[in-house]
Amino acid sequence: MHSTNSSCITEGTPEPKREPGVSEPLERVSGKQGCDLGHAEKEQVHSDEFVPPEGGYGWLVAFAATWCNGSIFGIQNSFGILHVMLAEEHADPDDKMSQFKVAWVGALAMGMIFFCSPVVSMFTDHFGCRKTAVGGAFVAFLGLLSSSFARTLGLRYFTYGVLFGCGSSFAFQPSLVILGHYFRRRLGLANGVVTAASSLFTVALSVLLKKVVGPLGLSRTFQILSLFMLIQSLLALSFRPLLPPARAGMGSLAPNGDQGSTVETRWRRGIMKVRKYFNARVFRVATYRVWAFGVATAVLGYMVPYIHLINFVREEFGETQKEWVLLVCIGASSGVGRLLFGKVGDLIPGVKKVHLQVASFMTLGLMSMMIPQCRVLEGLMVVCVFMGLCDGCFITIMAPIAFELVGPMQASQAIGYLLGLMAVPMTAGPPIAGLLHDHFENYHVAFYLAGVPPLVGGIVLFFVPLVFKRAHRNESERCDQSTHSMLKNCTNGDVLPGYTDGETQQETH
């Protein structure tokens, strides 16, 4: 079949396979639109034509993103050392819930990183990756700096938990999104390199905090840590976007081309902007819904070892010199895992990458349950190595899976909503573990229960590829039935949109 100038589709050009809810393929047959492309389809076509440079200036962007991830999560992952110092500074012999209260400082900071993510997605889409990341890094700098002057636990909830946490969220998420502008074929490797930085920083900061906190105290330590975020606010200036910004397409709202001339038009434009920046279209994708629910379930016990492991070692083994080595083991193995699984993720096609997350969560849950069973410090070190590998796999593969499920134009929203869903369980985990410690006077029950959510989440994620395959098969059947029905109904010389008379007759016969 040969297409004339009026046709929309050329022979031999296969339609891209997409799941329902992602930008739909161009309709071959449509009584309403004919050959006119809707706004969403135009954006998708443009994004499909975009080819990332796969390097060059992108490696400078990757370095800035590396520093961002390293600074934020290096500080967060090393919080176990700060947790012990905070517990000593705010100790109250009459308070039976001291661990529960102190745990909220670190838990709030980590939780706010993910809780703010949907809003960060809106800011990223509206202001771009560069402005969002620079502003977020500067707020995080102010949060750490002001924490050095705080003297009460309640004030540190705000300075460290809220300010540093929110600022980190606005700095961290654009560093994931911007990689998709510069890499596609090497996206898994780039994510592995960038996210491996948090492991390197965790190793370095674990040693630094152990050596600096003692002689200098918490105030000086917070001031030193704030310098990392100040540097990040400068490096984030390199986040120059390449993908075109999504436009609201307001040209047809007002009649006779008079845009914004009436109150009704301005109201409609405002509503469309809100709908655009709080875009929930990603939840129309069944596979994304299942994936997001599984990940959010799995992270309930995710932060428990990072915050309570050091205190657990002190109570169980009486160690005061070597407990920080456990954080080094987690950080180092996590770095290896991010590099390794980043490359492995590039070799696994499509949504089958989810199987890596399934394996990582299942292993992470089992390792958490093994912590109370360890009777020597060396056994804990082995457990921490496996936990670090699982952490590296989970983090590295998250962004590539989001790009696979919803495409590059909606990846920012998809990552933002996922991190937002992770916020509540991730924040609640460490305080719940502290509460269980205060009740049972040990961490055994806390670590046993912390291993259950990753196991449940891993089981849920196992079904993601199956849901994707089923949804794609159903969509293909609906498209075939729609095309056949339209061809059958075109009689008496009616011409299909985008087809010539001769082509219609050939199809119907």
Does residue 493 sit within a domain? no
pLDDT (0 to 100) of residue 350: 81
Q: Which residue range forms the structural domain that includes residue 120? A: 50-247+282-462
pLDDT (0 to 100) of residue 321: 61
Give, for 218, the enclosing helix (H) or strand (E). Answer: helix 187-235
Token pair of 385 as six digits: 């190595």
Give, for 335, the enclosing helix (H) or strand (E). Answer: helix 324-347
d(CA 465, CA 31): 34
Does residue 150 sit within a domain? yes
Q: Return the percent helix, strand and coil in the chain, to nearest 5.
A: 75, 0, 25
Q: What pairs with residue 20 in β-bridges?
A: 22
pLDDT (0 to 100) of residue 489: 52
- Residue 86's domain is classified under what CATH number? 1.20.1250.20
* Contact between 69 and 197 (Cβ < 8 Å): yes
Residue from 39, 337, 346 nearest 188 by CA = 346
* Contact between 46 and 236 (Cβ < 8 Å): no
| pTM higher than 0.85 | no
| Alpha-helical segments (H) within 236-317 | 263-277, 286-298, 304-317
Does residue 236 sit within a domain? yes
For residue 121, the Cα-to-chain-centroid distance in whole angstroms is 11
d(CA 266, CA 115): 31
- pLDDT tens string for the chain (509 positions)? 444 443 343 344 444 444 444 444 433 334 444 433 344 444 444 445 667 777 778 889 989 999 998 999 889 888 888 888 888 887 777 767 777 888 889 889 988 988 887 788 788 888 889 999 999 999 999 999 999 998 888 899 999 999 999 999 999 888 888 888 888 778 777 877 887 787 788 888 888 887 776 678 888 889 999 999 999 999 999 998 876 654 433 333 344 444 444 556 666 666 665 566 566 778 888 888 999 999 999 999 888 888 888 888 888 887 666 777 888 888 888 888 887 887 888 888 888 889 999 999 999 999 999 999 998 888 999 999 999 999 888 888 888 888 888 877 777 778 778 878 888 898 898 899 988 988 888 899 999 999 999 999 999 999 988 888 887 777 666 665 655 555 455 444 444 344 444 444 444 44
Does residue 407 sit within a domain? yes
Does residue 481 sit within a domain? no
pLDDT (0 to 100) of residue 213: 67
d(CA 431, CA 435): 6
Compute the radius of gyration of the chain from its Cα atoms. 26
Does residue 472 sit within a domain? no
Alpha-carbon torsion (312, 315, 316, 317), positive or negative: positive
d(CA 201, CA 325): 14
Number of domains in the chain: 1
| Alpha-helical segments (H) within 6-51 | 39-49
Does residue 24 sit within a domain? no
Does residue 64 sit within a domain? yes
Count of other CB atoms within 10 angstroms of residue 371: 27
Token pair of 394 as six digits: 């989970």
Token pair of 398 as six digits: 């998250």
Please report, for residues 76, 371, 417, 503, the alpha-carbon distance to residue 114 in angstroms, rounded to integers and kept in the order given. Answer: 13, 26, 9, 53
